[in-house]
């Protein structure tokens, strides 16, 4: 397979393993394109990135995985549970199985089972109260089963989306940039910070890590507040100069 995407800090074996795992899920589900897209969430010191593409085998051989969503944490935030919640919220879980062409995920399954049981019991009782007899009770059971399952699954999805949005749309500690709408200056900025992060000494350089975090946080704020990307370009230029200087220092050792 090809090297990892230039905006990714993952090692080649990590990149390969992540996409192969997604490929196995696609093959197991026999999912049609569009029903569920394989994705990998990469944790970064400044936040997380969700990578999405078509089938992972294509992404692996072509290198065309797309950095779909960037979640940037506010500088100074060292809340590990928040970091874990951000990565979890970015993930798009695969269906556990499909029913009549509709994929059911883990967060939908339990509410669907509970909803089916409650719906079936309620409609059986209603049919008996109305004097509809055995036939009415059977019809009520079937309608309640299907309607309750659908309602339960919808409720599970609603609660999942609400919890996800509560994390990603918080604003005070997390800023989210959608990759497909971001300007090239954002890609340049992430590319430069990736080079700094993957350098051998970057992990021990607190000043550099702080600069990376601040630049991405400020750039994300500019993208979310304004259509003028000049400030992002300035930040990208500065981070590229820092990356070049860092490479020069590393090369001189």
Question: Cα separation of 114 and 103, whole Å?
Answer: 18
Residue 23, classed as helix, strand or coil, is helix
Give the integer Cα–Cα distance in Å for 34 and 17. Answer: 23
d(CA 55, CA 64): 10
The helix (H) or strand (E) run that includes residue 41 is: strand 39-44
Q: Which pLDDT score is estimated for 226?
A: 82
The torsion defined by the Cα of 177, 178, 180 and 185, in degrees rounded to 10, comes to 0
Give residue 233's pLDDT. Answer: 92
What is the token pair recorded at 94? 């695969």
Instruction: Report strand pairing: 102-104 vs 174-178.
Output: unpaired
Determine how many CB atoms are found less than 10 A away from the CB of residue 48: 22
Global pTM exceeds 0.75: yes
d(CA 89, CA 69): 11
Q: What was the pLDDT predicted at 57?
A: 64
The pair of structure tokens assigned to 126 is 């209603």
The pLDDT value given to residue 110: 86
Cβ(55)–Cβ(23) under 8 Å? yes
Q: For the chain, 253 residues long, give each residue's pLDDT as a single digit of tens.
A: 456 788 888 888 888 888 888 878 877 776 554 467 788 999 999 999 999 876 666 666 666 778 999 999 999 888 888 999 999 999 888 877 666 666 678 788 888 899 999 999 999 999 888 888 888 889 989 999 989 888 988 998 898 888 888 888 878 899 999 988 889 999 999 999 988 887 645 454 677 788 888 999 999 999 988 888 889 999 999 888 888 877 665 555 5
Q: Can you list the alpha helix ranges (DSSP code H) found in 169-183? A: none
């Amino acid at each position: 397979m090809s090297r990892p995407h230039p905006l990714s800090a993952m090692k080649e074996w990590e990149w390969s393993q992540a996409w192969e795992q997604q490929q196995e899920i696609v093959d197991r589900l026999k999912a049609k394109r569009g029903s569920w897209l394989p994705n990998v969430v990469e944790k970064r010191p400044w936040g997380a990135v969700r990578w999405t593409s078509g089938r992972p085998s294509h992404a692996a051989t072509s290198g065309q995985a797309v950095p779909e969503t960037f979640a940037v944490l506010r500088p100074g935030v060292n809340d590990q549970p928040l970091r874990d919640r951000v990565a979890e919220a970015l993930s798009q879980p695969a269906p556990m199985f499909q029913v009549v062409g509709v994929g059911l995920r883990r967060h939908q399954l339990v509410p669907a089972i509970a909803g089916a049981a409650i719906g079936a019991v309620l409609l059986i009782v209603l049919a008996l109260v109305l004097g509809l007899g055995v036939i009415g009770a059977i019809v009520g059971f079937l309608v309640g089963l299907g309607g309750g399952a659908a309602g339960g699954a919808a409720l599970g999805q609603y609660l999942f989306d609400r919890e996800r949005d509560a994390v990603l749309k918080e604003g005070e500690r997390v800023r989210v940039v959608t990759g497909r709408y971001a300007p090239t200056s954002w890609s340049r900025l992430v590319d430069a910070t990736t080079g700094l992060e993957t350098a051998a000494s970057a992990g021990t350089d607190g000043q550099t890590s702080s600069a990376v975090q601040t630049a991405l946080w400020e750039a994300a704020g500019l993208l979310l507040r304004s259509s003028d990307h000049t400030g992002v370009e300035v930040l990208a230029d500065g981070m590229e100069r820092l990356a070049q200087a860092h490479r020069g220092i590393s090369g001189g050792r």
